[in-house]
Amino acid sequence: MIAAKERTKAAAGAADPMRPELYRVQRSRRESSDTFTLELTPPRGYKPTPFQPGQFNMLYMPGVGECAISISGDPADDGVLLHTTRVVGTVTRALNGCKAGSRVGIRGPYGAPWPVAEAEGNDVVFVAGGIGLAPLRPAIFHVLAHRRQYGRIVLLYGARTPEDILFKPMLRKWSSRLDMDVYVTVDRAEAGWRGNVGVVTNLIKRAPFDRLNTTAFICGPEIMMHYTVLEILGRGVNEKGIYVSLERNMKCATGFCGHCQMGPFFVCKDGPVFRYDKVKRWMEIREL
Amino acid sequence: MTIHDLEPILREHPFFNGMSDEHVRILVGCAKNIRCNEGDFFCRFGKKADEFYIIRNGKVNIEIDIPQQGSMTIQTLEDGDIVGWSWLFPPYKWNFDARALQLTRAISLDADCLRNKCELDHDLGYELMKRFSAMMMERLQATRLQLLDFYAGPAGAKG
């Protein structure tokens, strides 16, 4: 079991948490029109701190700036570091311009991870909205790698349009498994789309899980998480079994600067993954 | 499938959960079993809304045809969902198309039959209105969330 203190300890990351290491871009892969995945390899001789599912790194583009991006790869794969993000600002735009061989500064990993060990023995429901699938993906890799430790595994994924669906080959692979239920929906689609149309919260009422023994991991826009939590609570899942990944303006990533403060928490250090009952009070306060 | 076979199906359906035996029997009198093959329409925009449907198994797209653009899907309905409430309100015409995305089995309830029964038995009418109102609220909330287009904002990416 990963205790809260140990989860926080994982935030410590490398020896000097403010010093980036220059990683090499091995490949930049386009996931959708505005989303891409960087495959990064560490400098020779450098032993990166292993990450836990749900943690993030600070990615630094010299002369441009730094931003927090969740790790989207397999935590068991210590060779290549994967970061999936959307172009939303100057740093991500610069990262999107990286080619094979480009250098990117990395510091981390930071933050409290998804409590995958605490979920053992339970059904696990992943609810992802949009790019929120990226921070959840390492946790999905983990539970599938330790399949016998978990009950049903359900992934509910909502995207804006069929073109915006991330990790399509991976979703097809997961859908073909007999020990995992994958449901995908999009908000809008033109003729020809044979999948579901509707918001991701619509998928919850039919999702196969045991309400008394379920852990739910939710990641997406905060408004989507709000309505997702309501639906999951409506199915009878205890709020102590619900975890959300929050997003705030992270700068130092070590809990010093206070940019990401939310009530008594620093999202970078105490989160980004929180048990819902711990943060629901603060999530309900406007503009916090 | 006989009319007697439909009674347990309606009784077990979540939409009719808790409804009295008497009311379920009245509904069965207006019900019939139907199937639509992939691509078949349950209803078409502008046509008379003389039925509504309970999906037993399958998938149905609620669509609207946009001139010069083709059909757009608004929502996908599945097992246990209800298709249609236009039969409840004048002028009793469908506002959207409903097309089977795959072979879909459903129970159709005749609108004239039901409306007449509801006029004769206001308790039944109230029960149905309560259930349809709850479903309409759920669909309205889902539509509002779709309108928010919440995936357009930054999430996961932080700079």
- Per-residue model confidence as pLDDT tens digits over A25-38: 999 999 998 999 99
Q: Phi, psi (5° rounding) for residue A113?
A: -85, 175
Average pLDDT over residues A3-31: 72
Q: How many folded domains does chain B comprise?
A: 1
Across the interface, of A92, A132, A189, the residue whose CB is closest to B155 is: A132
Ranges of beta strands (E only) in chain A are: 21-32, 35-41, 56-61, 65-70, 81-86, 103-110, 123-129, 153-159, 181-186, 189-190, 196-197, 214-219, 242-245, 261-262, 265-266, 273-275
pLDDT at A29: 94
pLDDT at A203: 95
The answer for B 17-56 residues in CB contact with A (under 8 A) is none
Residues 6+ apart with CB under 8 A from B21: B11
Q: How many Cβ contacts (< 8 angstroms) between chains A and B? A: 118
pTM: 0.89
pLDDT digits (tens, 9 = 90+) for A133-156: 999 999 999 999 999 999 999 999
pLDDT digits (tens, 9 = 90+) for A165-208: 999 999 999 999 999 999 999 998 877 888 999 999 999 998 99
Instruction: List C-alpha distances in Å: B134 to A204, A217, B53, B95, B138.
Output: 17, 28, 17, 19, 6
Helix B122-148 to helix A222-234 angle (10° resolution) is 150
Q: Which residues pair with A128 in a beta bridge?
A: A157, A219
In a domain, B158, yes or no: no
Under the banding of pLDDT at 50, 70 and 90, the label for residue B69 is confident
In a domain, B56, yes or no: yes
Say if the Cβ atoms of A67 and B152 lie within 8 Å: no
pLDDT at A210: 94
Residue from A202, A244, A273 whose CB has the most chain B CBs within 10 Å, to mutate: A202
CATH superfamily of A4-110: Translation factors (2.40.30.10)
Interface ipTM: 0.83
Under the banding of pLDDT at 50, 70 and 90, the label for residue B2 is low
Residue spans of the domains in chain A: they are 4-110, 123-245
Say if the Cβ atoms of A249 and B158 lie within 8 Å: yes
Under the banding of pLDDT at 50, 70 and 90, the label for residue A251 is confident
Closest CA to A151 of A280, A241, A84: A241
Whichever domain contains B37, its CATH number is: 2.60.120.10
A123-245 CATH pick, 3.30.460.20, 3.20.20.105, 3.30.450.20, 3.40.50.80: 3.40.50.80
Query: Does position B96 have pLDDT exceeding 80, yes or no?
Result: yes
Say if the Cβ atoms of B78 and A87 lie within 8 Å: no
pLDDT digits (tens, 9 = 90+) for B115-135: 999 999 999 999 999 999 999
| Range of the structural domain that residue B99 is part of | 3-147
Closest residue of chain B to A165, computed from CA coordinates:
B151
CA distance B78 to chain A (A): 9
Query: Does position B41 have pLDDT exceeding 50, yes or no?
Result: yes
Contacts of A84 in chain B (CB under 8 A): 156
The answer for B 72-131 residues in CB contact with A (under 8 A) is 72-76, 78-80, 101
Instruction: List C-alpha distances in Å: B52 to A79, A175, A246, B114, B145.
Output: 57, 33, 42, 10, 25
In a domain, B152, yes or no: no
pLDDT at B1: 62
Q: Phi, psi (5° rounding) for residue A3?
A: -75, 160
pLDDT at B156: 45
